[in-house]
Amino acid sequence: MASCSAGGAFECTQPSDCASEGGAGTCESTGYCSFPDATCDSGRRYGEHAPGDVAGTCVPTDVGETGGTEASASDDDSVSEVGPTSLTTDPTADPTTDPGTADTTSALDDSTSAGSTITATSLETSITTATDEDTTAGPKPFEVDVVATIAVCTEPMLFDPEHCALEAGMNQFTVDISDDEGNVSNAWIRFDLGNELANAEILAIELTLTTGPESDDASGQTGELWRTAAFDLQTLEMTDPETVEMIAEDLGPVASSTEVSWPLPLDVVDGASIHLALLPTDTDGIDYWGTGGNAPPRLTVLAQ
C-alpha cells in the first residue's frame, strides 16, 4: 500500500502504486515513482510527488526498481550477466574451445604439474607393484655350471678305468667299438649337482663334452648318450652299470678341440646326481677330455 511521508512526498512499494501518478510508472528502490523519459540516461524521471530534491530529476542509472514483475526481470538480467563472466578463460586459449571445458582442462593440468609429491607417490607405487609382480612370478632363473665328478671309460670284462684311459691319453677317455686291442670302450659320466641346486627347480640341462687337441682325437661319431643306473668308481671296477634309456642320438663326425653339446631331459636327474653312458657307434674312436683335462665334461643347468 502507498503512503505519504511527513513531508508530503508519495512513497511506493510496487509498480502499481505509480499507475495513478500520470500513467504506467516504476517504483524505484528509493521508494518513489518514476515515469518514462527518453531524455534521461536511465530512461526514467522521478514524478512530481517525489521529495523536493528528487522530484522531476532523472533517475540515476544505478538505481534499481523494487517489487513486482519489472524488478524480477531486472534481477534475472543481472544473473544472466554474471554467468558467462564466471567462465572467462585465458585470452590465449583456442576461441573454439568451450569455456567450461577449457577451465576444467586448465585445472587438471595445474594439479598434475603441481606435484612432485604425486610423482613420488606414483614411483613408490610402481616399485611396490614391481616387487609384488616379482614375488608372484617367483625367483628369477639362474645358471650353474657343474663339472663332472666321474668321466672314465671301461672295456667289457676288464672293468679297469685306468687301463681304458691308456687308449685315449692323459686325462682323457675314449669311446670306440674297437680300440687298439680290439676291445669296445664305453664311457661313464657322473655329475653331482651339489647344494646350490638342492632346493631349486631345474628348468633346463645341457651336457657339453670337448674333444682332445690331437688329430686322432677326432672321429666320425660322437657316441650315443644313455641314462644309466647309479654308479661310482667302485661300481665301475666290478661291472658295467645298467643302461636304462637312450636320451640322445649320435651326432656324426666331429673334429678335434671341438665342443659337443646335448640338451638333456629333466627326468635324467636321479636325486642329486645324473648318471650317463656314452656308447660307441663306429670303429673310429673319439677321445674326450676327462675330469682332469683342460675342458672337463660339464653341465649347464638353468634353475630357479
Reported as a single tens digit per residue, the pLDDT across 54-80 is 889 999 987 766 644 333 333 444 333
What pLDDT score does 10 carry? 81
Q: Could you tell me where the DSSP H helices lie in the chain? A: 68-86, 99-113, 116-137, 161-165, 233-236
| Beta strand pairing call for 44-46 and 150-154 | unpaired
Are 221 and 253 in contact by the 8 Å Cβ rule? The answer is: yes
Residues 76, 173 within the same domain: no
Pairing relationship of beta strands 186-192 and 150-154 according to DSSP bridges = antiparallel
Asked if residue 177 and residue 71 are part of one domain, the reply reads no
pLDDT tier at 244, thresholds 50, 70, 90 = very high
Q: Are residues 69 and 147 in the same domain?
A: no
The total domain count for the chain is 2
Residues 71 and 205 reside in one and the same domain: no
**Which CATH number goes with the domain that contains 220?**
2.60.120
Q: Is the pLDDT of residue 6 over 60?
A: no
Question: Is the pTM for the entire model greater than 0.85?
Answer: no
In a domain, 225, yes or no: yes
Whether residue 169 is found in the same domain as residue 244 = yes
* Residue whose C-alpha is closest to residue 291's, from 149, 170, 146: 149
pLDDT one-digit tens code per residue, 143-169: 999 999 999 999 998 999 999 998 888
pLDDT at 8: 67
Let me know whether 66 and 162 are in one domain. no
The answer to the question of residue 297 being in a domain is yes
The answer to whether residues 168 and 240 belong to one domain is yes
β-strand pairing of 186-192 with 33-36: unpaired
Taking the CA atoms of the chain, what radius of gyration do you get in angstroms?
Answer: 53
Range of the domain at 195: 142-303
Asked, for residue 258, whether it belongs to a domain, the answer is yes
> Do residues 26 and 149 share a domain?
no
Q: Across all residues in the chain, what is the average pLDDT?
A: 78
The answer to whether residue 292 is domain-embedded is yes
CA triplet 51, 56, 62: central angle to 5 degrees? 85
Q: Looking at the structure, tell me whether residues 73 and 160 fall in a common domain.
A: no
* Residue appearing with cell numbers 667289457: 156
